[in-house]
Amino acid sequence: MLDTSPLTAAVERFADRLRAAPQSRLQQGAAEVALELARELSLRAQRLEEAAEGSGGGTGAAPARTMPDDGIFVVGDQLAVAGLDLAEALHAAAAGPAAGPAAGPDTAKAPSEVLDEAVRLVDQAEARALR
């Protein structure tokens, strides 16, 4: 079983810092960076989930759902949800059969590689947003 605790810990740390950040910091770009990250994590989770569902011979890829911009005060929660969704998709990908080559860029990598990359993305975004 893949240990996704580094991802969930990094996401929760960043989300907590966003929730505690003053409005001025969020307006100065921290919320924008966090929303961009949440959207990226969400897209990666969707690709992994689609690959798992598509392995049964589905009719094609559904359009990706983009996380909405619900405002600067909820971006920490949005980031937490996206990170947990990705962690769950990684658990499923690690437990299930390997995806085919048409599944997408995130499924061409081992789940552990996707996990490591996601943790790096979270750390980099946190440094940019809250420096």
User: What angle is formed at CA 3 by the lines to CA 93 and CA 44, rounded to 5 degrees?
Assistant: 45
pTM as predicted: 0.86
DSSP structural state of residue 96: S
* The pair of three-digit structure tokens given for residue 95, joined into one six-digit string: 């437990």
> What residues in the chain have per-residue pLDDT under 50?
57-58, 99-103
Confidence at residue 64, expressed as pLDDT on a 0 to 100 scale: 82
- CB atoms inside a 10 Å sphere around CB 80: 19
User: What angle is formed at CA 20 by the lines to CA 12 and CA 35, rounded to 5 degrees?
Assistant: 60
Q: Please say whether the beta carbons of 87 and 4 come within 8 A.
A: yes
> pLDDT digits over 3-15, tens only?
999 999 999 999 9
